[in-house]
Amino acid sequence: MTTAPTLAESMRGAVLTEADASYDEARQIWNGMFDRRPGLIARCTGAADVIAAVNYARENNLVIAVRGGGHSFPGYSVCEGGLMIDLAPMKSVRVDPVALTVRAEPGVLWGEIDREAQSFGLAMPGGMISHTGIAGLTLGGGFGWLCRKHGLVIDNLISCDVVTAEGKLVRASETENPDLFWGLRGGGGNFGIVTSFEYRLHPLGMVLGGMIVYPLAEAAQVVGGYNRLMKDAPDDFNAGAFMLTTPDGHQGIGIAPSYFGNDFVVGEKIVEPFRKLGTAVMEQVGPMPYTVVQQILDGAAVPHRRYYMRSNLMDDLSAGAISALADGYARTPSPLSAVVIVPFGGAVARVPADATAFYHRDANYSMTLLGAWESAGDDEANVSWIRAVWDNLQPYLGKGVYVNELLDEGTDRIKSAYGPTYDRLTALKKKYDPANLFRMNQNIQPA
């Protein structure tokens, strides 16, 4: 039997039970499909609180859920019973504009780190939606608008402070515990709880960005053309492709170009052919701050809706794949759902596959079917829709998946995120967490 005071006495932050007024807010996460009730919620304010919470969970055999920004698709940041280690109060961000680095705590969201970095004319290559947490996103690998120019988030990670399953605080970097540092860069929350991330920053002024929308009926021509153009695109340029429903109810294809070079005349020349892929029904592309680019997609992933998804990496967007996606999207039961296609390439692909635990660097695209709807009564229709589109896509999928875009899909799918690096990860897990204390995640079993 666990009691709150024991943990509460060893923490600076609050320990919540269901009797507390803020309990319901603290247990709520981005994906409204998960309405779990932790036994205790440890609202951590620093590494000492995280150590106390880890020790308490281990000594009392409690399941642990770790919450950074709370955007886990499969809801792993909240548990039924057990202990939710809530890092959301840990919000410090410190930019060093001389060293071009930033140190941030794990409750920080991308919009928050972007704001601090941009006030010094700097940018962190981070995720594409401003309300996602830096912690979970970084530990899976992390792609974003800047990844073709500056690599994945983990390619810009310098060091981490980590609380291990034993309750010890260790540093991981290229020179300190380099094996742990390798595993943290893609291996998710399997090896410990990160209490501080140190990243490299890059100078960045205004960006050429925005959105062009074409009718879904032109999918073959528009997405096919997009695929051809992206093959020759420079690292300074990125563009997502989305199947979506516009606010006035039309199904369309959104192409979101973003140019990160200094010369907008050059940028305009790169963007121009993306404006001519079909019959544009909306076009808004122009100079804007990076913080605005980082929020362009926020409205498509509103917190607390109900979400279900399937995702895979893709080598190519063949005519068959585009047709399976467009025919599938045309039948979506919810206008809030989307198909999300994001390119890799550039700096992502230049890092050797075994340099970090993020293996699939040669994939050309990440493709996600994202079902979104408001009411539990619509669960079955939306989940069935995703599954049917997914079945039709099978012949066209690449060989792996991005670990942060998995639901609870079983060990084979986790293995497909890591390919041949999986065995190295199981050995590392045995070293740092042999009892699998951190198991509410895309779990790597100790060897």
Ligand X SMILES: Cc1cc2nc3c(=O)[nH]c(=O)nc-3n(C[C@H](O)[C@H](O)[C@H](O)COP(=O)(O)OP(=O)(O)OC[C@H]3O[C@@H](n4cnc5c(N)ncnc54)[C@H](O)[C@@H]3O)c2cc1C
- With beta carbons less than 8 A apart as the criterion, state whether 242 and 341 touch: yes
Q: What's the closest the beta carbon of residue 147 comes to ligand X, in angstroms?
A: 8
Report phi then psi at 58, rounded to 5. Answer: -65, -45
Q: What's the closest the beta carbon of residue 405 comes to ligand X, in angstroms?
A: 6
- Tell me if 240 contacts ligand X by CB under 6 A: no
- Tell me if 128 contacts ligand X by CB under 6 A: yes
- With beta carbons less than 8 A apart as the criterion, state whether 210 and 288 touch: yes
Q: What's the closest the beta carbon of residue 278 comes to ligand X, in angstroms?
A: 25
Q: Please state, in angstroms and as integers, the Cα–Cα distance from residue 403 to each residue in 14, 30, 132, 220, 311, following that order.
A: 32, 18, 16, 29, 9
Position among 45, 77, 312, 334 found at the interface with ligand X (CB under 6 A): 77
Q: Give the residue with the Cβ less far from ligand X, 385 or 432.
A: 432
Q: Give the residue with the Cβ less far from ligand X, 77 or 101.
A: 77
Q: What's the closest the beta carbon of residue 330 comes to ligand X, in angstroms?
A: 24
Position among 13, 38, 125, 142 found at the interface with ligand X (CB under 6 A): 142
Extended beta strands in 87-204, E state: 93-96, 101-104, 122-123, 157-163, 169-173, 193-200, 202-203
DSSP output for 183-206: HHTTSGGGS-EEEEEEEE-EE---
In the region spanning residues 161 to 190, those forming contacts with ligand X, defined by CB under 6 A, are 188-189
CA–CA dist 65, 160 (Å, integer): 20
In the region spanning residues 400 to 419, those forming contacts with ligand X, defined by CB under 6 A, are 404
Q: In what order do the strands lie in the sheet with 40-43?
A: 15-16, 40-43, 83-86, 64-67
Position among 57, 113, 135, 180 found at the interface with ligand X (CB under 6 A): 135
Buried-state track 429-442, b at ≥16 Cβ within 10 A, e below 16: beebbeeebbbbbb
Contact string 418-447 vs ligand X (x = CB under 6 A): -----------------------x------
Binding range to ligand X, per CB under 6 A, among 129-137, 212-220, 247-255, 419-427:
129-137
CA–CA dist 161, 171 (Å, integer): 5
C-alpha 114: how far from its chain's center? 15
- Tell me if 308 contacts ligand X by CB under 6 A: no
What is the signed CA dihedral for 256, 229, 404, 96, rounded to 10 degrees? Answer: -70
Position among 47, 53, 64, 66 found at the interface with ligand X (CB under 6 A): 66
Q: Give the residue with the Cβ less far from ligand X, 320 or 434.
A: 434
Q: Give the residue with the Cβ less far from ligand X, 47 or 321.
A: 47
Position among 144, 224, 345, 398 found at the interface with ligand X (CB under 6 A): 144
Q: Give the residue with the Cβ less far from ligand X, 227 or 294.
A: 294
- Tell me if 343 contacts ligand X by CB under 6 A: no
Binding range to ligand X, per CB under 6 A, among 67-75, 256-264, 377-385, 419-427:
67-75
Position among 132, 156, 177, 421 found at the interface with ligand X (CB under 6 A): 132
User: 102 forms bridges with which residues in the sheet?
Assistant: 95, 199
In the region spanning residues 106 to 125, those forming contacts with ligand X, defined by CB under 6 A, are 106
The token pair that represents 22 in the structure block: 């803020």
Q: Give the residue with the Cβ less far from ligand X, 133 or 371.
A: 133
The token pair that represents 417 in the structure block: 């995120």
Binding range to ligand X, per CB under 6 A, among 62-70, 202-210, 270-278, 349-357:
62-70
Q: What's the closest the beta carbon of residue 251 comes to ligand X, in angstroms?
A: 21
Q: Nearest-CA neighbor of 30 among 63, 90, 76?
A: 76
Report phi then psi at 297, rounded to 5. Answer: -95, 0
- With beta carbons less than 8 A apart as the criterion, state whether 446 and 433 touch: yes
Position among 125, 127, 252, 400 found at the interface with ligand X (CB under 6 A): 127
User: 40 forms bridges with which residues in the sheet?
Assistant: 83
- Interface residues with ligand X (CB under 6 A) are 30, 66-73, 76-77, 87, 106, 127-129, 132-133, 135-137, 139-140, 142-144, 188-189, 193-194, 301, 404, 441
